[in-house]
Structure 1
Amino acid sequence: MTTPTAQPYGTPEAPRLAVRGEAHLEVDPETARIAITVHARGRDRRSALDDLTHRNTTALDLVKTYGDAVERLETGTFSITPELTKHGRGERLRTYHGTVHITAELTDFTALGELTTRLADLDLTRVDGPWWALRPDSPAHRHAHQQAVTDAVQRARAYAEALGTTLAALVELADLGAENPDHYHPVATGMRSMAYAAAAEDAAAAPLDLQPQRQHVHAAVHARFTMAPPTL
């Protein structure tokens, strides 16, 4: 007995209906990341290194005073670079520059404004950011996927009703990224980048009022259904 071959486009007895479901959500961010660049200089390599070590420790200690508000604190690249200057026909060593990059991720946005201001108030310290984001396991992603599926079912029902029939069964449900990963962008996290130089005034600067940037979450699915045969 020959097994009937599946018909990818349906049959008159079981017409297939393919739809795309989408969801677009706008939610508050869950984390904010700032980049801290600490600079130092000295007449020789050792003095530049000692200065950089001191400034790096000062910045790290300041960030750590915010306790649980800081979810992640990481040190990135570090460098000590000689600066040469022209001297007659040759070159002469002028000074050394040191740099270390630090990344801090916070979940308390009130603390973020105060910390950013205090870091920018340190000598030879640059602060970039904040970059607002959602966590990879944020419930917002799940809600977007659920709404995309709901949207697909509603669209399919609307098409079936237009034909005077009803949906019979779900044949396939595919996340858009599973079928075309190169063009799948489930989350478009907004980024706002600002740079803060160290303040020159001796008085403490007022904390920055940083307004969290809303995050846009997108989800899309492809769904295929069978319908009861319509009367055309």
Structure 2
Amino acid sequence: MTQPPFPAHPPYGTPDAPRVAVRGEALLEVDPEIARIGVTVTARGTDRRTTLDDLTRRNTAALDLLRSYGDAVENLRTGTFTLTPELTRHGRAERVRSHHGSVHITAELNDFTALGELATRLADLELTRVDGPWWALRPDSPVHAEARRRAVQEAVTRARAYAEALGTLLDALVELADPGAEDAAPYGPPPGARMAFAGARGAEPDDAPVLDLEPQRQTVTAQVNARFTMRPPQL
């Protein structure tokens, strides 16, 4: 019978190799890296083509304004588009009373000094609504890696303290895992403050007030479960 190249470790500690299990945690508070805003342009009219033309014009105006801020808007995408007829509620025959149209746009900004001005200029456009901002870190932000690194360091420090309390030393790392790694839940939307504006008419850019928006600091947490073996203590 072929022997395994390494001795198998039992799933529990033994007197010759006692185990210690700990959890390392880290919490960081940092400034956000991006801010997301949602822009919804709408149109309504009795004629379908006229409603669609109005919606197209307002959507173009919103996109042109967003693009005019250059690199400050690092991500721009169009979401849902709807054009829905509203039917009359009375009478035997169904008749179209009006048409409702909307287009939703999402923008990500990295320049927070331009955010307040852009938000109010968008909200001042005709039949345009602005939601947000939602402050966030980028998915590949180094802050996430730093939090995980600190959580691992905390786990090692805690395990070493237990070993020292017994008058011994850590011997080897047995396991390192995220809590609930087997059935991790998807991440939810980033937390952040929210504002909402609805523009009813157009205005010159100089007429729109400038909001002073204070970025909301982001809380980044990390947890790790770790198991170590210790040298047998003299009890």
Q: Deviations over 1:107-137 (max 9, x none)?
A: 1111111100000011100001111111111
2:38 corresponds in structure 1 to 35
Q: In structure 2, what is the Cα distance between the partners aligned to 1:98 and 1:168? A: 67
Task: Tell me the equivalent position of 1:228.
Answer: 231
Change (3 A) 1:11 1:87: closer
When the two chains are superposed, the root-mean-square deviation of aligned CA atoms in Å is 2.2
Amino acid at match of 2:234: T
- Using the size of structure 2 for normalisation, the TM-score is 0.90
Structure 1 residue 205: deviation in Å? 2.3
2:105 corresponding residue in structure 1? 102
Q: Distance in 2 between matches of 1:40 and 1:16?
A: 67
Give the Å deviation of 1:26. 1.0
Please list, as runs of the form range in 1=range in 2, the aligned pairs for 1:169-208 lying within 5 A after superposition.
169-182=172-185, 189-198=190-199, 204-208=207-211
Q: Deviations over 1:146-168 (max 9, x none)?
A: 00000000100111111111111
Q: Deviations over 1:200-229 (max 9, x none)?
A: 695712211111111111111111111111
Find out whether 1:113 has 2:116 as its counterpart: yes
Determine if contact 2:127/2:200 at 8 Å carries over to the other structure: no
Tell me whether 1:130 sits opposite 2:170 in the alignment. no
Deviations 1:32-59 (A, max 9, x none): 1111000112221110011111100000
Shift of 1:179: 4.1
Name 1:141's counterpart in structure 2.
144
1:189–1:215 contact (8 Å) kept in structure 2 = no
Structure 1, unaligned runs of 5 or more: none
Q: 2:17 aligned with 1:11, yes or no?
A: no
**Partner residue in 2 for 1:53:** 56
4+ residue segments displaced more than 6 Å: none
Q: Structure 1 pair 128/23, CA: closer, same or farther in 2 (3 Å)?
A: same
Q: Identity percentage over the alignment?
A: 68
TM-score, scaled to structure 1: 0.91
1:163 to 156, 166, 175: 166
Deviates more, 1:166-175 or 1:126-135: 166-175
- Separation in 1 of the partners of 2:117 and 2:105? 17
User: How many positions carry a matched residue from both structures?
Assistant: 230
